[in-house]
Amino acid sequence: MIDLYSWTTPNGRKVHIMLAETGLDFTPHPIDIRAGDQFAPEFLTISPNNRIPAIVDRDGPGGKPLALFESGAILHYLAEKTGQLLPADGAARYRVMEWLMFQMGGVGPMFGQANHFRIYAAERFPEEQISYGRERYTLEVKRLYGVMEKRLADNQYIAGDRYSIADIAIYPWCRNPERRGVDQADYPNVLRWFNQVDARPAVIAGNRILEGVPRADMDDKAWNIMFGAAQFEKR
Ligand SMILES: N[C@@H](CCC(=O)N[C@@H](CS)C(=O)NCC(=O)O)C(=O)O
């Protein structure tokens, strides 16, 4: 019923986990972002920002097909479609949206830039070119971990006492924290929450989606496609 266009990155995993949690039928279509699949004209008609994840629901509103990009919009849509993982009304619904937006506007962009400066740029540029970016985004990651630590000290899940799409959005970005300079031991409540989410059968199943699909290496060609001039030529 749903075509999933995605890859095994944190933003992709959010939707993989949501599909596993809700039990919706789907067909996965791998989009290898190192190989440039995100610039294929057919993909751009679904996701004009050349980013995964994206979906096409053949049975969208009014029984018509609906194409959607942006992981937060997809999580929201699938939650409303199934009536799962987002309270139907009241304050609890806005609490989930609040933490979902916290992920979309804070955790995703900042953790992504920390990955960029600490891993990808660090392999290619001299220390003096990356040090400011690395420090800036590592500090932002730690600040955001501090916000989550405080929240999760008083709440079982990020939006309150129930697991929701806000947890699904944040969880994949908390895998491999050492890549972003985070020691989990400094954030015991985030660690407790992470382990609880990580152990859910649907999260384990979602993490397996598209796992093992052959992928392009992160070589000069891939760098140029993702971060260099090729991304402009390909549009
Ligand atoms: N705000 C977007 C971000 C999506 C995003 O950045 N996706 C990355 C992978 S995690 C991507 O497709 N990158 C392709 C590229 O950089 O060309 C969302 O949450 O869906």
End-to-end CA distance of the chain: 29
Element at 54 (helix H, strand E): strand 54-57
Q: Is the CB of 71 under 6 A from ligand 1?
A: yes
Torsion (CA) 121, 124, 125, 131 in degrees, nearest 10? 40
Enumerate residues 6+ apart whose C-beta is below 8 A from 146. 187
**pLDDT-based confidence at residue 231 (cuts at 50, 70, 90):** confident
Please report, for the chain, the start and end positions of each structural domain, with discontinuous segments joined by +: 2-84, 90-198
Q: 9: Cβ below 6 Å to ligand 1?
A: yes
How confident is the model over 112-159, as pLDDT tens digits? 999 999 999 999 999 999 999 999 999 999 999 999 999 999 999 999
Smallest CA separation from ligand 1 atom 1, residue: 70
- Decide: 172 in ligand 1 pocket, CB within 6 A: no
List pLDDT tens digits, range 164-204. 999 999 999 999 999 999 999 999 999 999 999 999 999 99
The tokens describing 120, both together, are 């990808």
Tell me: pLDDT of 234 over 80.
no
For domain 2-84, the question of CATH label 3.40.30.10 is answered with yes
3 vs 25: CA distance, rounded Å: 9
Token pair, residue 82, equals: 């199934």
Of 17, 39, 46, 52, best ligand 1 pocket probe by most atoms within 8 Å of the beta carbon: 52
Fold of 90-198: Glutathione S-transferase Yfyf (Class Pi); Chain A, domain 2 (1.20.1050)
pLDDT value at residue 137: 98
**8 CB within 6 A, ligand 1:** no
Instruction: Give the Å distance between the CA of 130 and the centre of ligand 1.
Output: 22
3-state secondary structure of 57: strand
pLDDT tens by residue, 79-121: 999 999 999 999 999 999 999 999 999 999 999 999 999 999 9
Distance 53 CA to ligand 1 centre (A): 7
Atom of ligand 1 nearest to the CA of 7: 9
Q: What is the pLDDT of residues 15-73, one digit of tens each?
A: 999 999 999 999 999 999 999 999 999 999 999 999 999 999 999 999 999 999 999 99
166: alpha, beta or left? (left if phi > 0; alpha if psi -120 to 50): alpha
Q: What is the pLDDT of residue 232?
A: 81
pLDDT at 117: 97
Does the structure show a pLDDT above 70 at 235? no
CB atoms within 10 A of CB 14: 27
Question: For residues 49 and 64, is the Cβ–Cβ distance under 8 A?
Answer: no
Distance 15 CA to ligand 1 centre (A): 12
**Cβ partners under 8 Å of residue 96, min gap 6:** 86, 87, 159, 164, 165, 166
- Measure the CA–CA gap between 201 and 204, rounded to whole angstroms: 5
